[in-house]
Each structure stands twice: as C-alpha cells, then as structure tokens.
C-alpha cells in the first residue's frame, strides 16, 4: 500500500495531466457541446472505464516487470521519460486542429461505448501509466502490484471528476467556449510544456533509483 505522501504526489501529477485537453477531453467536449449534458456525462463514464482498463493493466504489468529485474524496470521508466519529452516537443511544434462541433448526434449509450474505445486507445493515458506511474512504486514496501493498483484507482477517480467538470462546462457554455483562444493555447503550449516537464521528472526519478529499491529475490534474478 503506497503512503499518503506518495498518493498525494501522484494525485497532483495526475491532476496536472488530466486537466490538459487530450483525445478523451476533446471527445467529451464534442459530445457535451453537440448533444448536451446527459450525453457528455455518459461519455465521461465511458472514459473512466477506459482509465480503469489502463490502471489494471499497469498494475499487473509493473508487478511482473519488478519481479523480473531492476534493469527491465528502469528501462521502462527511461523509455517512458524519453517518450514524454518527445511528445511534448512534438506538441509544441505542431499546430492544433480545430474542434468539430457539428458531428452527428449520438445516444448516451453510444457515447458511453465510444468513450471506452477512445480512452482504451488513448496514448496519453497509456503513456502516463507506463512512464510516470513506475516512479511512484517502491518495491521495498512490498506488493508493488497493489501499490500500482491503488495509484491507478486514484487516477481514475480524479479523471472522473476533471472530465465531468469539462462536460458540465462545455455543455453550459456551448460554442462560446470553443470560439475563444484559450483552449487552442492550452492544447499546444501548456500541454507541450507539461509533457516535457513530466518527462524530465520521470528521467530524474529513474536516475536516482538504486538497487536497494528491489526485493532481494528480484536482485538475484
């Protein structure tokens, strides 16, 4: 079980990532603006289930990697940190596409299932779990899979709240929100900077990980 300090630090990082508009948020905004609050919140529920999918996979995968070797565990973190920085740089140099609010209306049940698919295939979430979550796992505390699962569920809960906030805001403001300049600025400059920052932090955490962070059984494997 992770400490409350670890949970709080992870929750802060998760909140920063989740408030940045990515594929899931853009889908929620589209549905909320096009079809209203009920459909938007149905999409939020589907997105949350997609987050849960990533959380469970991460818990199982990281537990298996930690049991294998420290080298494999550190490799995952280094690769993830590098990819975070790469995504951040790419986000800064690419112009964002406008949000399409003229999509055909969908039923809330359809928005829910689409939300699941959108987030299961969301590289932003997969990237976060594979690259940043490992920096909060302390194998010496035991049961790394449980630690990862608790942190993953924390991410799911925060995501449900932030995504729900986007849905309520978008359905309330409708096209006024989307005609402004704030959202494109956040999607490009703020998102790119945050991704780079997360990558640097993840890389630093990888560099400071010592062999003592792994159980004795893992050190000998």
Q: Looking at the predicted structure, is the pLDDT value of residue 77 above 70?
A: no
**Residue 20: closest CA among 162, 172, 196, 203:** 162
The rounded mean pLDDT for the chain is 75
Instruction: Please indicate, yes or no, if residue 57 is contained in any of the structural domains.
Output: yes
Q: Looking at the domain assignment, is residue 217 inside a domain?
A: no
Task: Report yes or no on whether pTM surpasses 0.95.
Answer: no
State the Cα–Cα distance between residues 185 and 219, nearest whole angstrom: 46
Residue 156 included in any domain? yes
User: 72 in a domain, yes or no?
Assistant: yes
In a domain, 219, yes or no: no
Structural domain that includes position 188: 4-212
Residue 43's pLDDT band, with cuts at 50, 70 and 90, is: very high
Q: Is residue 220 part of a domain?
A: no
Establish if 21 belongs to a structural domain. Answer: yes
Assess if residue 221 is contained within a domain.
no
Question: Across the chain, how many H-helices and E-strands are there?
Answer: 11, 0
Number of domains the chain contains: 1
What is the model's pLDDT at position 130? 74
């Amino acid at each position: 079980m992770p400490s409350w300090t670890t949970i709080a630090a992870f929750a802060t990082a998760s909140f920063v990532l989740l408030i940045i508009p990515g594929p899931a948020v853009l889908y929620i905004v589209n549905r909320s603006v096009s079809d209203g609050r009920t459909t938007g919140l149905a999409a939020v529920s589907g997105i949350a289930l997609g987050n849960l999918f990533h959380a469970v996979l991460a818990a199982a995968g990281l537990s298996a990697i930690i049991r294998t070797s420290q080298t494999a565990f550190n490799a995952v973190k280094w690769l993830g940190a590098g990819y975070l920085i790469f995504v951040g740089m790419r986000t800064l140099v690419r112009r964002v596409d406008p949000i399409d609010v003229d999509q055909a209306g969908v039923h809330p049940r359809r928005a829910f299932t689409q939300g699941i698919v959108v987030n299961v295939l969301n590289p932003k979430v997969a990237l976060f779990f594979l690259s940043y979550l490992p920096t909060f796992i302390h194998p010496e505390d035991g049961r790394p899979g449980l630690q990862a699962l608790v942190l993953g569920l924390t991410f799911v809960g925060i995501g449900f709240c932030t995504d729900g906030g986007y849905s309520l805001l978008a359905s309330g403001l409708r096209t006024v929100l989307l005609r402004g300049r704030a959202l494109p600025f956040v999607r490009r400059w703020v998102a790119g900077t945050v991704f780079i920052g997360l990558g640097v932090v993840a890389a630093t955490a990888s560099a400071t990980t010592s062999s003592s962070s792994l159980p004795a059984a893992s050190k000998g494997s």
